[in-house]
């Protein structure tokens, strides 16, 4: 039964990608590779926005790690209070990351889901920055909680876009590029936040207000990602209209009960991911 379900899903996925990979189906015209949704150039333009969709989330996620010393000094918080700013992000995703994918598949759709989750990351980080500016610790915790609601579910939407627009060997490359660009966000955070903090400090601002302003500036990356989500949604709506396709091309009805049919390799990969994150993330949190 599991093999049959997998075959149906693979057939539906292949069918959903046919319009994108068949170059001969393009209507005549020298600009169709660029403007037509089936054209390779057009799809890779969409890929740029897919990659930057998660950039802001990854950039802002590690803001506390990049400013650990300044944050402890300006807010006068302990190591335990600092750790909560990371752990509170993860707690909602114990449940919501799974439900977030279900909501994208069955309730919101990819376009609206990506925009909603991007808005959660932006709103959550804005509250976090406001809490730092006002030196209100509980507000910072609330902001990180809201940020966490959108952060991981946004990655699910990002992967759904990739499956919808690409297939085969292209899909493997796209997954790699998306993850690479997301990690570029984390790397850019650690490279940029300390110089940004010093630059704002040179303007005569200090203390928790300095920290809040720096975090607000960092939040512009979430604004950028939200804009990318809006543009990507417009491109996807246009592609759906021109290619007469549906975002649920396989015709499957997604149910939460389907999880019991997941095969053993899925659960093994899940265990590998959990053990990897348990080993790496605490180091990133404190090692700067």
Task: Please check whether residue 275 lies inside any domain of the structure.
Answer: no
Q: Specify the CATH number for the domain of residue 91.
A: 1.20.1250.20
Task: Please check whether residue 33 lies inside any domain of the structure.
Answer: no
The larger pLDDT score, comparing residue 93 to residue 59, is at 59
Task: Please check whether residue 287 lies inside any domain of the structure.
Answer: no
| Average pLDDT of the chain to the nearest whole number | 81
List the single range of 28-37, 67-76, 154-163, 170-179 with lowest mean pLDDT.
28-37
**Is pLDDT of 268 > 70?**
yes
Calculate the alpha carbon distances from 1 to 4, 13, 236 in Å. 5, 18, 33
Task: Please check whether residue 246 lies inside any domain of the structure.
Answer: yes
Tell me what pLDDT residue 25 has. Answer: 52
Q: Are 233 and 161 in contact (CB under 8 A)?
A: no
Tell me what pLDDT residue 159 has. Answer: 87
User: For residue 232, with 0-12 CB atoms within 10 Å meaning exposed, 13-18 middle and 19 or more buried, which class applies?
Assistant: buried
pLDDT band at 33 (very low <50, low <70, confident <90, very high): low
Domain that holds residue 168: 47-252
**How many structural domains compose the chain?**
1
User: For residue 270, with 0-12 CB atoms within 10 Å meaning exposed, 13-18 middle and 19 or more buried, which class applies?
Assistant: exposed
Tell me what pLDDT residue 2 has. Answer: 37
Task: Please check whether residue 172 lies inside any domain of the structure.
Answer: yes
Task: Please check whether residue 106 lies inside any domain of the structure.
Answer: yes
pTM: 0.79
At CB < 8 A and 24+ separation, what contacts does 108-114 make?
109/247, 110/157, 110/160, 110/161, 110/164, 110/236, 110/247, 111/232, 111/233, 111/236, 111/237, 111/247, 112/233, 113/153, 113/157, 113/160, 114/53, 114/154, 114/157, 114/158, 114/161, 114/229, 114/232, 114/233
**Is pLDDT of 34 > 70?**
no
Task: Please check whether residue 36 lies inside any domain of the structure.
Answer: no
Predicted confidence (pLDDT) per residue in 146-180, tens digit:
999 888 888 888 888 988 888 877 888 888 888 88
Task: Please check whether residue 282 lies inside any domain of the structure.
Answer: no
């Amino acid at each position: 039964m599991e093999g049959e379900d997998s075959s149906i899903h693979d057939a539906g996925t292949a069918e959903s990608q046919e319009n994108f990979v068949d170059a001969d189906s393009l209507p005549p015209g020298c600009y169709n590779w660029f403007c037509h949704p089936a054209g390779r150039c057009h799809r890779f333009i969409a890929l740029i926005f897919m990659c930057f969709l998660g950039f802001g989330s990854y950039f802002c996620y590690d803001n506390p790690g990049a400013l650990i010393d300044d944050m402890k000094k300006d807010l006068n918080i302990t190591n335990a209070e600092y750790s909560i700013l990371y752990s509170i992000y993860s707690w909602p995703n114990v449940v919501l990351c799974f439900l977030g994918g279900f909501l994208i598949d069955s309730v919101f759709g990819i376009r609206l889901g990506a925009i909603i989750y991007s808005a959660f990351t932006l709103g959550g980080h804005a509250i976090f920055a406001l809490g730092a500016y006002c030196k209100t610790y509980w507000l910072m915790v609330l902001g990180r909680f809201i940020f966490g609601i959108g952060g991981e579910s946004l990655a699910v939407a990002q992967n759904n876009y990739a499956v919808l627009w690409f297939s085969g060997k292209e899909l493997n490359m796209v997954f790699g590029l998306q993850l690479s660009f997301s990690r570029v966000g984390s790397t850019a955070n650690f490279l940029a936040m300390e110089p940004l903090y010093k630059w704002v400090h040179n303007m005569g601002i200090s203390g928790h207000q300095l920290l809040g302003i720096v975090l607000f500036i960092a939040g512009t990356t979430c604004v950028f990602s939200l804009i990318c989500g809006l543009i990507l949604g417009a491109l996807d709506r246009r592609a759906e209209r021109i290619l007469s396709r549906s975002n649920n091309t396989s015709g499957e009805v997604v149910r939460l009960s389907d999880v019991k049919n997941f095969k053993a390799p899925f659960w093994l990969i899940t265990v590998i991911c959990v053990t990897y994150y348990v080993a790496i993330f605490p180091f990133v949190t404190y090692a700067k």
